[in-house]
Amino acid sequence: MKVLVAVKRVVDYNVKVRVRADETGIDLSGVKMSLNPFDEIAVEEAVRLKEKGLASEIIVVSIGDASCQESLRTALALGADRAIHVETSLETQPLGVAKTLKALVEKESPRLIILGKQAIDDDFNQTGQMLAGLLRWPQGTFISHLIRNGEEIEVTREVDGGLETLKMPLPAVVTTDLRLNEPRYATLPNIMKAKQKSLEVISAETLGVDLTPRLKTLKVVEPPPRKGGLMVANVDELLDKLQHEAKVI
């Protein structure tokens, strides 16, 4: 079984982001970038499937400018077999990414696609669902457990009411939640080996995909600063403030 995993380079989750002075977006100058945490979980799950003998090859894909290759090399160091960089200078948005992945699926013919449920920079949480719709494949989103049984998979997904278990035939699309696994660290030998692994660079035009953004960001602003807390003497005073000042009860 060939597995395809999409990864994205995002601002590291430990970084406190700053808004540009003109409010057009996030200031990325001098900011540490890293592999999207949910995508790292997706790579780890694909590697575990291969270690169990349930996957034959892991292909990682990233879409964007040349800086994406850093994330692809990280994924290769974590255990992926080869990488594909779809090069574009345009802003990537869920529908364009889904169409690009669909074109790569037609080229590579994977049986399973594993995506992070969302990227922590835009939090769209749409690409996996759009890709499954374009391919007309079954999908399991927000999965916290995955088992392969022959030509079908069983996934446990997190829903508002608790947990839901689904069985679906392959090929299929799944998106990962935080509780699916704990990603491993890339060892120095594997980082060195990753430099020798195949990294193919192709253009979106070669795939016949139009990545022109459909969405326009009007303004990016920081949230208002949090106000300081207030100490109250007793429960009656607390209830009075909640009722008459905050008006939440």
* DSSP conformation letters of 157-190: EEETTEEEEEEEESSEEEEE-GGG--PPPPPHHH
| pLDDT attached to residue 4 | 97
Residue 224's pLDDT band (cuts 50, 70, 90)? confident
CATH superfamily of this structure's domain 2-245: HUPs (3.40.50.620)
The per-residue pLDDT for range 28-40, each reduced to its tens digit, is 888 888 999 999 9
The per-residue pLDDT for range 83-92, each reduced to its tens digit, is 999 999 888 8
Q: Are 84 and 203 in contact (CB under 8 A)?
A: no
The per-residue pLDDT for range 12-27, each reduced to its tens digit, is 888 888 888 888 888 8
For 117-160, where are the E strands, in sequence order? Answer: 139-149, 152-159
With H, G, I as helix, E, B as strand and everything else as coil, classify residue 69: helix
Least confident range from 136-140, 188-192, 202-206, 221-225: namely: 221-225
When the pLDDT of each residue in the chain is averaged and rounded to a whole number, the result is 92
Mean pLDDT score, 49-76: 95
| pLDDT attached to residue 165 | 95
Closest listed residue to residue 96, CA positions, set 221, 232, 239, 209: 209
Residue 152's pLDDT band (cuts 50, 70, 90)? very high
Residue 200's pLDDT band (cuts 50, 70, 90)? very high
Q: Rounded CA gap, 45 and 78, in Å?
A: 11
Spatial neighbors of 92 by CB under 8 A, at least 6 apart, are 8, 63, 64, 211
Q: Rounded CA gap, 180 and 51, in Å?
A: 16
Q: Rounded CA gap, 242 and 39, in Å?
A: 42
The per-residue pLDDT for range 166-178, each reduced to its tens digit, is 999 999 999 999 9
Q: Rounded CA gap, 160 and 33, in Å?
A: 32
